[in-house]
Structure 1
């Protein structure tokens, strides 16, 4: 897997979502949002894209990404002392999970995901 290209594409998806939701809507600082985004990207890539997605389905990996994003962002917002923690974390996690569905398809299409051969054949239809 070309990690740099995959991480770059993930960052191009996750960071703008977080900047819009957290910074523009919920008034979390740009830098706090960016740091939380980088932490989330690293964790989601390592756990979701490298461990869960290759062993399960796109749906399971997307649900795992949703749960991870919700937890990381909720805790992260509490740690930085944000006024609102759950709602911005929930909205961000939902939108990020929607993007992850397509990101996983992009990984497969570009031969950047190692998945079980039987799954690869069934997902191509």
Structure 2
């Protein structure tokens, strides 16, 4: 269920961004934009978010998402449309999606940190009892002292 929520949180903004860039400026149909966004969402979620982001930094995952977006838009654009400026459409789309992905990765990282913090808090809130034991090494009693100790 958590993956569905994350995919939806990724799909909707990417659909809006690609719809504006590809639909308005490069005359892609809404069906083409929807198909490109669906393929891009699944591929970039698996590669960028589940594999790369977990093992590297946000910057490297964002660069990987830029490359994946460029390749998906360029290859699917060649298959679906007769557009001549696919390189520019791919570069602009990849830059816009990478900008979104940078903040999306921050959201995922914060979500993961919150889960870790909640887990560690629940573990720390369990009472931990420890007994204290000590011996007095040199008990001092007034009747045991010698008369030389008072001087």
Partner residue, 1:58? 58
Give the match for residue 104 of structure 1. Answer: 105
Greater helix fraction, Structure 1 or Structure 2: 1
1:6-45 correspondence to structure 2 within 5 Å: 6-45=6-45
Which whole-Å CA distance do the structure 1 matches of 2:25 and 2:87 have between them? 14
Q: TM-score, normalised by structure 2?
A: 0.71
Q: Which has the larger radius of gyration?
A: 2
Gaps of 5+ in 2: 116-151
Does structure 2 retain, via aligned residues, the 8 Å contact 1:78–1:85? yes
78-87 vs 28-37, greater mean Cα deviation: 78-87
| CA deviation string 1:48-89 (max 9, x = no partner) | 100000000000000000001001110110111331311111
Give every structure 1 segment of 4 or more consecutive aligned residues whose post-TM-superposition deviation is greater than 6 Å: none
Count of paired positions:
114
Show structure 1 runs of 5+ residues with no match: 115-125
Q: What TM-score does the superposition give when structure 1 sets the normalisation length?
A: 0.86
